């Protein structure tokens, strides 16, 4: 038995919800297998909650909100500080859980999945300590107050990272939360609930109910005592949440799908830009909503781009996610494996030129949800591989003849989450970045920043996460007129 499974089994947490500061048996009785995507075998089962469990969790969060919402800033910051330290202390357990439940290469889980998740807690703590919850403007007092009980719905692709990106700022703002993690990657969420308990979270401030979207997600979204829902997931799921939330007029924050462009300008440093572009597109085996999976390149440099991209792909090591040598494990589940295979076939049938990869598993891997890193070139913007979010290691290289055409291609999707621009001329890169309709733009592959607001235009969602903007998402604005006036005599 895997050490993470053994730990959670011995604690009884695979069959429990965390409500009101206690682990308890859920009202729900449905069970679902946790599948190791590298072997396609079940490694554990969890018990799913239901609408009754959501009612109990929301009631606990509503009761706790009365006191948590008025706690001192330093009290909330001290809790987040303890959470941050515990995540780092238990980093290896989290990395092992993430590798097991969604197939992340263990090195990637250790270097990226866990450390960046911890950063969201640290940044929420630091932003909280300096945030002006009361300001004065033209004789009016402007107060920022916690919105209330928040339902948080998180996905399977960055399971811990997406939890901390929501829980950290929500608790910092003074909100109480009910978390519904993906039922496909529940192990890291259960470990996180243990962290919250061990950090001394007051009863009801943080609650966790495992469950699926149609049952638990829908109940949380529609619940009249939930003031806000924040979801990271597919655009389809985001629409369903918004529809369920509409009758109660609650705030809905959505971080949804993407089809991010990577515009390579004619003067770009190709030997640097192209390998980094391939790495960014294939990070987390392409299972990132902001992955730059459309590389838009000057037609006159197409041959060199193709050569550099194919070389970069050939250096990737696809295999057992537990091996330190592996750079890319399997995709996370069978549905995703089938989806990626379908879209690769579509690219070939629509006439895109296959540079490397293609359908089927890599040689020597007969089981597991492994995908061959695949690059298409001479892709037309209308093709499915240029329009649909694939969520796998598939890159489309699209040639252009003018910068205006490149920008038009970049903006020609229903999404607008992330984007990249490559150029030696910073002024030119900035000018192109300003024309792209997306929530983030990266110029020349900079380092990731937990302070950079993240969210989408168009069908990539609404609202922002990370940094100051991430905290503000969980705040209401109250204006008090007469706040500074003398008392009447």
According to DSSP, the β-strands at 420-422 and 261-264 are parallel
Q: Tell me the angle at which helices 91-102 and 159-173 cross, rounded to the nearest 10 degrees.
A: 130
388 assigned to active site: no
CA distance 89 to 198: 12
Task: Give the residue carrying structure tokens 């909503």.
Answer: 289
Residue among 101, 119, 183, 255 flagged as catalytic? 255
284-315 burial: b if 16+ Cβ within 10 Å, else e: bbbbbbbbbbbbbbbeebbeebbebbbebbee
Residue among 101, 175, 183, 289 flagged as catalytic? 289
150 assigned to active site: no
CA distance 228 to 248: 10
Catalytic center residues: 255, 289
């Amino acid at each position: 038995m895997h050490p993470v499974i053994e730990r959670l089994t011995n604690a009884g947490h695979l069959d429990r919800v965390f409500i009101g500061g206690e682990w308890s048996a859920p009202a729900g009785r449905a069970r679902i297998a946790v599948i190791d995507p590298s072997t396609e075998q079940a490694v554990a089962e969890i018990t799913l909650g239901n609408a009754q469990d959501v009612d109990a969790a929301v009631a606990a969060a509503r009761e706790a909100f009365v006191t948590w919402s008025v706690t001192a800033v330093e009290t909330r910051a001290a809790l987040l500080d303890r959470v941050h330290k515990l995540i780092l202390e238990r980093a290896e357990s989290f990395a092992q859980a993430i590798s097991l439940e969604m197939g992340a290469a263990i090195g990637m889980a250790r270097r990226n999945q866990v450390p960046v998740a911890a950063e969201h807690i640290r940044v929420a703590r630091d932003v909280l300590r300096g945030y002006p919850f009361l300001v004065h403007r033209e004789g009016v007092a402007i107060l920022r107050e916690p919105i209330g009980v928040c339902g948080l719905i998180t996905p399977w692709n960055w399971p811990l990272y997406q939890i901390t990106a929501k829980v950290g700022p929500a608790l910092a703002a003074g909100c109480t939360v009910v978390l519904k993690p993906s039922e496909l990657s529940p192990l890291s969420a259960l470990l996180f609930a243990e962290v919250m308990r061990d950090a001394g979270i007051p009863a009801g401030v943080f609650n966790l109910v495992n469950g699926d979207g149609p049952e638990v997600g829908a109940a949380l979204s529609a619940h009249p005592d939930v003031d806000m829902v924040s979801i990271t997931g597919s655009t389809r799921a985001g629409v369903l949440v918004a529809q369920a939330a509409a009758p109660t007029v609650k705030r809905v924050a959505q971080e949804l799908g993407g089809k991010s462009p990577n515009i390579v300008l004619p003067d770009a440093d190709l030997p640097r830009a192209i390998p980094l572009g391939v790495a960014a597109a294939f990070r987390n085996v392409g299972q990132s909503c902001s992955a730059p999976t459309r590389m838009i390149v000057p037609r006159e440099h197409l041959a060199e781009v193709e050569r550099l991209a194919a070389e970069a792909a050939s250096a990737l090591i696809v295999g057992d996610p537990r091996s330190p040598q592996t750079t890319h494990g399997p995709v996370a589940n069978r549905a995703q494996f089938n989806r990626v295979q379908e879209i690769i076939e579509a690219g070939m049938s629509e006439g895109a030129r296959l540079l490397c990869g293609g359908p089927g598993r890599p040689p020597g891997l007969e089981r597991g949800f492994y995908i061959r890193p695949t690059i298409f070139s001479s892709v037309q913007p209308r093709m499915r591989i240029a329009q649909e979010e694939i969520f796998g290691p598939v890159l489309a290289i699209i040639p252009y003849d003018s910068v205006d055409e490149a920008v038009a291609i970049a903006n020609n999707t229903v999404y607008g989450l992330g984007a990249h621009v490559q150029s030696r001329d910073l002024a030119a890169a900035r000018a192109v970045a300003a024309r792209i309709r997306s929530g983030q733009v990266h110029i020349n592959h900079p380092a990731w920043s937990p302070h950079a607001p993240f969210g989408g235009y168009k069908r990539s969602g609404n609202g922002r996460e990370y940094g100051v903007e991430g905290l503000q998402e969980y705040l209401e604005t109250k204006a008090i007129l007469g706040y500074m006036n003398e008392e009447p005599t």
